[in-house]
Amino acid sequence: MDQKARKTIQKLILKLDNSSEKETFNCLVEIRKKVLKTKEGISYLLKNGGIPKILQILQKSDTDSKSVDVILSTLGNLCMDNDARNMVRRSSGIEIIAHVFAESKTESIQNRCSRTLANLALTKENIVTILKADVAETLGKLLESTKTKENILTYSRTV
């Protein structure tokens, strides 16, 4: 990864701290589009505290906001990486995602939570934490109430 890419990632991580909701949203979209495309970008984001900052924003946000949707999309993609999955767990991210999953009334956010939890469950240690976070009841309710095949598949994958 070149120096310019590193500086871009550093700026994006710093922007996450002090930005308005709109700036944070745009920053998260930029992270999703630019940083997550390479293993080096993901690694640099992890080493520079990106996941804890993203999880802090998730925890503070309204569970049905546009920012939450893009955060969960970003986390879902990040959680395809083993190191990212471990960092999310160590940062209490599973509990934060489980809370959003239980509280959100927005189908796309519920779906993204489910996908992210399924990706997190690719690591054995995370399965125990997910089970302790008590997402089974939320999954059951959503499986009973959803009418779309896509959501049924996503929720079933999480189970």
3-state helix, strand, coil in the chain (%, to 5): 80, 0, 20
Q: Distance between terminal CA atoms of the chain?
A: 37
Reference 97, options 108, 113, 81, 118; nearest CA is 113
Contact 27, 57 (CB under 8 A): no
The confidence score (pLDDT) of residue 142 equals 92
Q: What's the structural domain count of the chain?
A: 1
Which residue range is the domain that position 118 belongs to? 3-158
Residue-level pLDDT at 131: 92
Residue-level pLDDT at 129? 95
Looking up residue 122, the CATH number of its domain turns out to be: 1.25.10.10
pLDDT at 13: 87
Q: Which residues of the chain have pLDDT under 70?
A: none
* CA 66/CA 52 separation, integer angstroms: 19
pLDDT (tens digit per residue) in 76-111: 999 999 999 999 999 999 999 999 999 999 999 999
Q: What is the pLDDT of residue 37?
A: 83
> How much is the pLDDT for 3?
87
Residues 123, 107: Cα–Cα separation, whole Å: 26
**Predicted local confidence at residue 132, as pLDDT:** 93
What pLDDT is attached to residue 34?
A: 83
For tokens 């990212």, the residue is: 84
**Phi, psi (deg, nearest 5) at residue 85:** -60, -45
- Radius of gyration of the CA atoms of the chain, in A: 15
pTM over 0.95: no
Q: What is the pLDDT of residue 4?
A: 84
User: CA–CA separation, 116 vs 132, rounded Å?
Assistant: 16
